[in-house]
Amino acid sequence: MTTRVPRHVAVVGAGPAGLAAADAALGAGARVTLIDSAEQPGGQYHRMLPDAYDAAHPERLQHGWHAFDRRRRRVLAHPHCTWLPETTVWALERPAPEETGPPRLHLLRGPADGAGRTRHTLDPDALLLAVGAHDRVLPFPGWELPGVFTAGAAQALAKGERVVVGDHVTVAGSGPFLLPVAAALLEAGSRVSAVLEANPPSTVARGWSRRPWELAAQAGKTGELAIYTSALLRHRVPYRTGRTVIEARGDGRVEEVVSARLRPDWSVVPGSEHTTAADALCVTHGFSPQLELPLAAGCALRTTAAGPFVDTDDDQRTSRPEVYAAGEITGIAGAPAARAEGAVAGWIAGGGDPAAPAVRRLRRSRDQGRAFAERLARAHPIGAAWPGWLRPETVICRCEETDYASLCRAACDPAGASPRVAKLATRAGLGPCQARVCGPTVAELHTRLSGDPADGLPVAGPHRRPIAQPIRLGELAAPPEPLPHHAPRTPPKKESSS
C-alpha cells in the first residue's frame, strides 16, 4: 500500500481569501505555508489590535468576527500549517521553460523597517496568490499635504492601532468603502464632517438598481450597509452624492478642504465650490489590485472597466501551471466573494476533488460575488473628466515631486513621448514607492496626453517589477537561510465572549 505524499501549497496573503484558501487546502490534505507581511492574519478587513491593547469584545468592532476567529485558530493550530508572519515575497523565480510547476519564492522575514531580517527560499508544489489590493487616489491640488490619508490607511490606524487621524475629518472619493471608513473613524473618536461620494445619485442608482433580484444573494452586505448608515445618522454625519474634494489647503498640513459638485463625467460644476475646515482628509477612488507578484509569475491579465485583474478559470487557476489566484487581484467584490474564491482555489491547489458538492456551492457564491463586482463598477465608476481638477503645479508623483506640467511637456515632446523615455525625463514612478501610488495615474495621464498606449502601459506597465518589495543590498548579498519545518507562531488567542 502506497502512502500519498501531501502537496505543499504556499499561500501568499492571509486576508479573507488567503485564510480561506489555507483552511481549504489543509482540509484537502495538503501541507500549507501561509505567508503575510502583517503580525496577525486577517488582512485589512479583519485587521486586529496589537496584543498590548487587545479589544475585550472584538466582535463589536468587526463584521463576521466569530467565523473569522474560528477559522484563524483552526488554521494556525493545524499541525500541517507553517505560519510566517512579518514575511514578504520580494521576488518570484520562474522555472525553466522545460520544467513545470510554480515559481520559487524568495522571502524576507522580519519587521519591514527592522534590522536583522533574514532571506529564505521556498519551493512549493502549488502557489496561491491572495495579495489583495490597495486604495487608488486620484491627485488633486494639495493631496501631498500632511493630513491627507488614503481611506484604507485611516481605517487601518483606527482598527489596528486605535489611532485617530484627526478631530475634524472629511471622507471623500467614490464607492461603498467610504462608509466603513467613516464608521471606523467615528468609533475611534473622530468627528466626521461629511462623507462625499463623487458619483451623482443617477449613476449610483442606475448601477445598483439593474437586475435588483441579484441583490438577494448579498443580504449580508445589506445588513452591513444598515449598520454603517445608522452610525452616520447617530452621529449626524451628512452623506452627499455628486460632490467631492478637489483641493486641500493648509500651511504645512491640511487646514481646510474645497469640495465641489460634479457632473456625471466628474467635471466640476462652476460656482459650486465650498470650503470646510478640516485637520484630516481621507480619500479613495476605488482600488488597485497588487499585481506585482502575479505578473512576476507570468500570469495573464484581463482588462475590465474597473481596471486590470488576474485572469482565472473556474477552479481559480491562472495561465501559469500550479499558480492560483483569489481575492481582490481577480476583481473587487468584497470579503464574502474573496473567501469563496480562496476556498475554491485552496481546495483545488491542495489536491481536493473539483466535483465535491461543497465546491459547487462555493462556485455559486463566488459567481454571485463576481456579479456584485460588476454592479459595483457600474455604480461607482471613475469619471473621465477628473484631470480637469489638476493645475500645472499639482504634484502627480509625490515621491519625486513631479508635477502635472512636467508630465504634459514630456508627453507632448516628440523626442520623449514614449512612456519609458517620459518616465526617465520626469522621474515619475522612480521614487521609493516605485509607482505603487502614482503608477496607474501616470500611465492614464500619459495615454490621454500623448494618445499612445505603447507597450500596454495602462494595463500592466506600472505593476511590472522584478523586485516586488524593497530589499536592502546587504540582505540581497546575504546567503538564504533554511526555513524551519514549522515556523514559531504565537498561540491563537481565545475567542472573546459576547
The contacts of residue 378 (CB under 8 Å, 6+ apart) are 206, 207, 210, 305
0.75 surpassed by pTM: yes
Q: Which tops the pLDDT comparison, 46 or 276?
A: 276
Residue 74: strand, helix, or coil = helix
pLDDT in tens, 455-464: 434 444 556 7
pLDDT in the model for residue 24: 97
Average pLDDT over residues 304-333: 92
pLDDT at 490 over 50: no
Dump pLDDT digits (tens) for 287-312.
Answer: 989 999 999 999 999 988 777 899 99
Residue 166 has pLDDT above 50, yes or no: yes
On the question of pLDDT at 54 being above 70, the answer is no
Percent of the chain with pLDDT strictly greater than 70: 86
Gap between the Cα atoms of 426 and 423, Å rounded: 5
Contact (CB, 8 A) for 184 and 158: yes
The residue ranking higher by pLDDT, 212 or 149, is 149
Percentages (nearest 5) of helix, strand, coil residues in the chain: 35, 20, 45
Stretch among 34-48, 83-97, 406-420 having the lowest mean pLDDT:
406-420
Lowest mean pLDDT among 54-68, 305-319, 321-335, 361-375: 54-68
Query: pLDDT class for 219, splitting at 50, 70, 90?
Result: low
User: pLDDT value at position 424?
Assistant: 74
Q: Which helix (H) or strand (E) holds 102?
A: none
On the CB side of 242, CA atoms within 13 Å amount to 11
C-alpha cell of residue 264: 456625471
- Beta-carbon contacts of residue 388 (< 8 Å; ≥ 6 apart): 266, 267, 268
| DSSP conformational letter for 84 | E
Q: Residues in the chain, how many? A: 498
Residue range 231-253, pLDDT digits in tens: 999 999 999 999 999 999 999 99
High-pLDDT (> 90) share of the chain, % = 54
Burial 172-209 (b: 16+ CB within 10 A, else e): bbbbbbbbbbbbbbbbbebebbbbbbbbbeebbeebee
Q: Any bridge partners for residue 87, and if so which?
A: 109
Is the pLDDT at 218 greater than 80? The verdict is no
- Mean residue pLDDT of the chain comes to 86
Amino acid at 346: G
Grid coordinates representing 481? 537561510
Listed in sequence order, the residues at least 6 apart from 303 whose beta carbon sits closer than 8 Å to its beta carbon are 459
Q: Which three cell numbers stand for residue 340?
A: 469563496
Instruction: Specify the DSSP element, H or E, that contains 166.
Output: none
Q: Are 167 and 284 in contact (CB under 8 A)?
A: no
Predicted local distance difference test score (pLDDT) of residue 463: 67
- Dihedral Cα 464, 467, 471, 477, nearest 10 deg: -160
Question: Are residues 127 and 33 in contact, defined by beta-carbon separation less than 8 angstroms?
Answer: no
Q: Are the beta carbons of 93 and 296 closer than 8 angstroms?
A: no
Task: Please name which of 383, 369, 335 lies closest in space to residue 132, comparing C-alpha atoms.
Answer: 335
* CA dist., res. 484 & res. 152, Å (int): 34
Q: pLDDT value at position 495? A: 45
63 against 307, higher pLDDT: 307
* Cα–Cα distance measured from residue 138 to residue 437, given in angstroms and rounded to the nearest whole number: 9
Q: How confident is the model at residue 435 (pLDDT cuts 50, 70, 90)?
A: confident
110 vs 373: which has the higher pLDDT: 110
- How many CB atoms are located within 10 Å of the residue 474 CB? 9
Nearest to 365 by CA among 334, 341, 331, 329: 341
